[in-house]
Chain A
């Protein structure tokens, strides 16, 4: 592990100032991903600024009926919170499906969405990876693609040597639920505070796969707000993985839906394990809105969303299996949420 200096400033503002002043500085919260990256050589900071005890560890009620979750609230605490279990079950289920008890006790609200891809090449510093080492290429092209993206990737087979190539997926379950819930991210940075819609927090690789989010250097998540949901809305998270517990998603679905008079009145869907970011399924939402709440409608909506999907070939057989798997997972999730359909 490369040597680094450690700082625990007296306030969030000081922490932002410290990280801003050192180009090779990082924030530390629960550390469940960062400490591993320090060991692997994936992260090689000069300065680690600890904010775990600086940001809020409270879940508070907002005037609009929503809740504000402080960045240091742990994944365990948030999943156990009565308001989350009763009003945002999709989030409680997503949190409880992620990692293990030991990790959830430490992982935080601010840190979880900023965890990095589990792409095996990103985590292996002996391989080319545009996300870890910009311009070095992408080893996943034609490699192991079981956990890689099928949405938000180019129509043609990616070029392994191109600097923009990256087919990695975002690994968080929590983030998929937050995308479906239209959460808002409270950010403090060198230029002051701002609010970022959660769906805009993460980015596609674009021309710089090394950047996972739109946050600038020195910007810190201080809280995540959940807006109130309309009465009659139901929500759920469904995760499909290689073993029953403690595994990342092959595909996952977060759905928030309301049915009135047999019609889909309100629907929000986000998908995990299929893209570089938590994937808000806007095409499926459009296809469903106002339609009869039936399995046929759900199938048509999934087809609309996946029309642009690009399965990646790979030495492990590729990830084309994600198309039928996602189709079944999404249809089943919506069907379970609308038993009257």
Chain B
């Protein structure tokens, strides 16, 4: 658990930890990559720390831990979301899909295959977040959601209009890549969406 490293100002590293009342713990149940997991968590635990430290699922990455990099992106009840800014206790009963659970064992999700085909990563650290975000983008486009660069907000949004280079770049802007593999990430998302790039 990383809670000790995120204590507020004024705390000194080696201070004794006072016993906490039981209201600081909560029992929750989550379905993670298809498997129901029941566990007791400190109320301060983020979904990211729960996935990585408690469940051993290290596909969501801790990049910034402040909602600025997107490396911790998963599908939360079907929509892409940042696990570093979500308290686990607030998502009791939620369904989470990480990059690890997008496809059955031994198979690849079309977005994962597209990232391989297009060489859409270098070091790979941001990639699980990029892939979950891309899956979310394609779903949002399928639901007709516009973006900041959508020319006509009153027009229908479709794969043809919403997966241009500029649209993909805008829709994926919450996922940073320090290797700057963007030039291949955009075509990978387009390929997964069925658009020739």
Pick the residue among A44, A76, A106, A245 that contacts B86 (CB under 8 A).
A106
Residues of A within 8 A of B137 (CB): 101
Q: Does A306 contact B (CB under 8 A)?
A: no
B86 touches A31 (CB 8 A): yes
Q: Does B110 contact A (CB under 8 A)?
A: no
B21 touches A101 (CB 8 A): no
Given contacts A5-B43, A80-B145, contact A39 B81 (CB under 8 A): no
Q: Does B34 contact A (CB under 8 A)?
A: no
Most buried by A among B24, B81, B137: B81
Pick the residue among A3, A35, A99, A100 that contacts B87 (CB under 8 A).
A35
B174 touches A50 (CB 8 A): no
Which of chain A's residues 88-127 have a Cβ closer than 8 Å to chain B? 89, 92-93, 96-97, 99-103, 105-106, 125-126
Q: Does B15 contact A (CB under 8 A)?
A: no
B8 touches A5 (CB 8 A): no
B90 touches A52 (CB 8 A): yes
A35 touches B146 (CB 8 A): no
Q: Does B63 contact A (CB under 8 A)?
A: no
CA distance A40 to B7 in the complex (A): 8
Pick the residue among B6, B43, B79, B80 that contacts A4 (CB under 8 A).
B43
Contact with B along A1-39 (1 / 0, CB 8 A): 111111010000000000000000000100110011011
Which of chain B's residues 77-95 have a Cβ closer than 8 Å to chain A? 79-82, 84-87, 89-90
B43 touches A96 (CB 8 A): no
Residues of A within 8 A of B150 (CB): 96
CA distance A76 to B6 in the complex (A): 30
What distance in Å separates the Cβ of B128 from its nearest Cβ neighbour in chain A? 13
Pick the residue among B7, B70, B84, B143 that contacts A80 (CB under 8 A).
B143
Q: Does B101 contact A (CB under 8 A)?
A: no
Contact with A along B7-50 (1 / 0, CB 8 A): 11110000000001101101000000000000000111010000
A102 touches B26 (CB 8 A): no
B24 touches A85 (CB 8 A): no
A76 touches B145 (CB 8 A): yes
A245 touches B170 (CB 8 A): yes
Given contacts A39-B65, A39-B66, A96-B146, contact A102 B9 (CB under 8 A): no
CA distance A301 to B133 in the complex (A): 43
B44 touches A101 (CB 8 A): no
What distance in Å separates the Cβ of B148 from its nearest Cβ neighbour in chain A? 4
Q: Does A86 contact B (CB under 8 A)?
A: yes
Q: Does B73 contact A (CB under 8 A)?
A: yes
A97 touches B148 (CB 8 A): yes
CA distance A103 to B24 in the complex (A): 26
CA distance A244 to B167 in the complex (A): 12
Q: Contact residue range for chain A? A: 35 or more
What distance in Å separates the Cβ of A79 from its nearest Cβ neighbour in chain B? 7
Q: Does A246 contact B (CB under 8 A)?
A: yes
What distance in Å separates the Cβ of A253 from its nearest Cβ neighbour in chain B? 15
Residues of B within 8 A of A126 (CB): 9
Given contacts A1-B3, A6-B43, A101-B80, contact A44 B8 (CB under 8 A): yes
* Identity of the chain A residue whose Cβ is nearest the Cβ of B66 in the assembled complex: A36
Residues of B within 8 A of A48 (CB): 43, 87
A92 touches B146 (CB 8 A): yes
Residues of B within 8 A of A317 (CB): none
- Which B residues are closer than 8 A to A by beta carbons? 3, 6-10, 20-21, 23-24, 26, 42-44, 46, 65-67, 70, 73, 76, 79-82, 84-87, 89-90, 133, 136-137, 140, 143-148, 150, 153-154, 169-174
| Given A3-B20, A245-B169, 19 further pairs, Cβ under 8 A | A5-B24, A28-B87, A35-B87, A36-B66, A39-B66, A50-B90, A86-B153, A89-B154, A92-B153, A96-B150, A101-B171, A102-B80, A103-B82, A103-B85, A106-B82, A106-B85, A125-B8, A125-B9, A245-B173
- Which A residues are closer than 8 A to B by beta carbons? 1-6, 8, 28, 31-32, 35-36, 38-41, 44, 48, 50, 52, 76, 79-80, 85-86, 89, 92-93, 96-97, 99-103, 105-106, 125-126, 244-246
The 9 closest A-B pairs by CB, nearest first: A41-B8, A100-B174, A245-B173, A125-B9, A5-B23, A6-B43, A96-B148, A85-B153, A80-B145
